[in-house]
Copies of this chain bind each other. A is one copy, B any other.
């Protein structure tokens, strides 16, 4: 009846195939992606840049609770993964603008799916947690 395999079945089959990579993070695509954007900040930064290019200080303002250290670190990593571009204008004072690469933009689709899920199902999760808490 469904035109495709149910998502969770498909996910289960995917999982089986990962074993072939011996769960080596350098070879398993999923582990690799998780290791690189699964941290606290990457998805936030990527989302912030999704609306258009932003300068370093603008990013810092957009994500108020990130330290400069972590912002720099996260940006470097996203850059070396090919998700964002770094454009330096050698003016005084310097202007550095970050923007999504085509690869970065292509990641926005899947990310958006996850985020929309979070928004629609947030209430259910909170409810589930409340039930667990009162059971304890």
Contacts and interface: CB of A to CB of B under 8 A. Distances in A.
B12 A52 contact: yes
A69 interface: no
A21 to B, nearest CB: 11
Given A48-B15, A129-B80, A132-B79, A112 B10 contact: yes
28 contacts: A7-B105, A7-B109, A7-B111, A8-B109, A10-B50, A11-B115, A12-B47, A12-B50, A12-B51, A13-B51, A14-B112, A15-B48, A19-B62, A23-B64, A29-B122, A30-B43, A30-B115, A32-B118, A33-B117, A33-B122, A34-B43, A38-B43, A80-B132, A82-B131, A103-B124, A109-B113, A110-B110, A113-B114
